[in-house]
Amino acid sequence: MHLDIRTLVFVLSITQILQIIVFSYQYVLNRKNYRGVGWWLMWSAAGVAGFTFMLLREIPSVKVISIFGQNLMIIAGVIFLYIGIMRFFGRKENRGIVISIFAIFLILFMYFLFVVDDFRMRGIIICTTLAAVSFMSAHALFFYKPSAVASSANFTGVFFLAHGLFFVIRSAFCSKRASIPTILPPRF
């Protein structure tokens, strides 16, 4: 079975749009105020925007901008998700760490896109950032959860931990110019 990038983007966009509908219902229409749900809504919206930018890569005149927009939205989205998790548990995220991670990502990614076009380094930067935020989310799920949601938080935390480890391994493969199978597009 061969899955092209357009089909993948379409399926992922539909999934994200459905998440936006569910979060909107919970956040706006249902009038139940769960802390953090608005941040999860922004995570889903950033995902849709990132997938939209991914489709623009095939247009040569906007390819570089689409690469920048896609990865900016994906990183912003996972940061929104982390903030949503922290807020859901009634905690405040450390803004200094969140802003530092995003700023370092943005500066390095822009340098290796606009100044020195090196997709291998962009891959390392993206994977390292995704790993860091995944580990932060796992930490929040393991250590800040209330007892009422402990089992589901632990279950989800294991997935964030695995996600972070996957991106650490992927970052190592990017640094050795090797490839590892992934559902992400092959070029960052």
Sign of CA dihedral 106, 107, 109, 115: positive
Determine the Cα–Cα distance for residues 11 and 14; give it in Å rounded to an integer.
5
Predicted confidence at residue 181, as pLDDT, reads 43
Domain-located, residue 187 = no
Q: Which residues contact 89 (CB under 8 A, 6 or more apart)?
A: 36, 140, 144, 145, 146
Domain count, the chain: 1
Residue 185: the pLDDT is: 47
Q: How far apart are CA 85 and CA 96, in angstroms?
A: 17
What are the pLDDT digits (tens) for 23-40? 666 666 665 667 877 788
What are the backbone angles phi and psi of residue 91, rounded to the nearest 5°?
Answer: -110, 155
Per-state percent for the chain, helix, strand, coil, to nearest 5: 80, 0, 20
Per-residue pLDDT reduced to its tens digit, 73-107: 999 999 999 999 999 899 999 999 999 999 999 99
Residues with Cβ within 8 Å of residue 112, at least 6 apart in sequence: 118, 119, 121, 122, 125
Please name which of 66, 124, 73, 123 lies closest in space to residue 102, comparing C-alpha atoms. 73
Residue 183 lies in a domain: no
Containing structural domain, residue 74: 5-175
Residue type, 5: I
Tell me which H or E stretch contains 166.
helix 150-175
- The verdict on residue 153 lying in a domain is yes
97, 148 Cβ separation under 8 angstroms: no
At 107, list the tokens: 């500066």
Give the pLDDT confidence score for residue 182 in this predicted structure: 46
Least confident of 3-7, 13-17, 165-169: 3-7
Q: What digits encode the pLDDT tens for the residues 141-166?
A: 999 988 888 888 888 899 999 999 99
The token pair at 72 is: 């900016």
pTM for the complete prediction?
0.81
Q: Collapse the DSSP code of 53 into the 3-class scheme (helix H, G, I; strand E, B; otherwise coil) and give the result.
A: helix
Is position 67 within any domain?
yes
User: Is 180 domain-assigned?
Assistant: no
Residue 33 structure tokens: 């105020």
Q: What percent of the chain has pLDDT over 70?
A: 84
**Residue at 128 is within a domain:** yes
- Is residue 101 one of the residues assigned to a domain? yes
Evaluate whether residue 167 is within a structural domain. yes
